[in-house]
Chain A
Amino acid sequence: AQSVSQHNHHVILSEAASLELGCNYSYGGTVNLFWYVQYPGQHLQLLLKYFSGDPLVKGIKGFEAEFIKSKFSFNLRKPSVQWSDTAEYFCAVKQGANAGNMLTFGGGTRLMVKP
């Protein structure tokens, strides 16, 4: 079965620090990759997605992610975090063309940005 690993469970940064959250998946075929963010008390919102083309994708709020196929990775980055980025971040993977469009989620990374 496919699995998605987010190795950093909790990250604490000061404002203006750079952010990189790791995501690795186990499926070897075609994949579609997503990062979702969940602000405190809210539902999940899509940050960005990759399904083909340029492996460096840009999302909302200054986030970007790089798909490295050889490393089965899709790490999320932001050059300079803000207090408002405090949230939980989830990486998710969908096997290409699978029935039902099922997403497999990582365990999440809880980010706290200190003002």
Chain B
Amino acid sequence: NAGVTQTPKFQVLKTGQSMTLQCAQDMNHNSMYWYRQDPGMGLRLIYYSASEGTTDKGEVPNGYNVSRLNKREFSLRLESAAPSQTSVYFCASSRQGSNQPQHFGDGTRLSIL
């Protein structure tokens, strides 16, 4: 059971380049999320998708776009990468319901030069 799969695991970009981070889950979860993790700041929500066909902004959406391609897949796009977007990005998924825990992928470590 793969759970939440993120690709790639590592990526280095130059400022201004574009990039799409991929995320897929095989747990039939309705909700999916993208976070960034920065030292001392915990995880901050970038975008989420409560269900297939819907997406909403989280705490730090600027500079990012998302696509909920189908129930399984939720991608995060950086249209014009900036050094401030250097971070570790985590995708997560969950069943609907406020007491449902989120399940996380292994993360994508992204460096922007």
In the assembled complex, the Cα of A97 lies from the Cα of B98 at a distance in Å of 5
Q: Is the C-beta of B71 less than 8 angstroms from some C-beta in chain A?
A: no
In the assembled complex, the Cα of A32 lies from the Cα of B41 at a distance in Å of 21
Q: Is the C-beta of A22 less than 8 angstroms from some C-beta in chain B?
A: no
* Stretch from B11-19, B42-50, B61-69, B73-81 contacting the other chain: B42-50
Q: Which residues of A contact B (CB under 8 A)?
A: 4, 6, 9, 32, 34, 36, 42-46, 49, 51-52, 90, 92, 94-108
A49 close to B50 (CB less than 8 A): no
A-B contact number at CB 8 A: 69
CB nearest to A97 among chain B residues: B98
Chain A residues within an 8 Å CB radius of B4: 43
Interface size on B, residues (CB 8 A): 29
Chain B residues within an 8 Å CB radius of A104: 45
CB nearest to B95 among chain A residues: A101
A32 close to B99 (CB less than 8 A): yes
B100 close to A101 (CB less than 8 A): yes
Cross-interface CB contact of A98 among B98, B102, B106, cutoff 8 Å: B98
Q: Is the C-beta of B97 less than 8 angstroms from some C-beta in chain A?
A: yes
Chain B residues within an 8 Å CB radius of A6: 42
Cross-interface CB contact of B42 among A32, A94, A98, A106, cutoff 8 Å: A106
B104 close to A32 (CB less than 8 A): no
In the assembled complex, 28 residue pairs joining A and B whose CB atoms fall closer than 8 Å, in A order, are: A4-B42, A6-B42, A32-B98, A34-B101, A43-B105, A43-B107, A44-B43, A44-B90, A44-B104, A45-B104, A46-B101, A49-B101, A51-B99, A52-B99, A94-B98, A95-B98, A100-B48, A100-B50, A101-B48, A101-B50, A101-B97, A101-B100, A101-B102, A102-B33, A102-B58, A103-B45, A104-B45, A108-B42
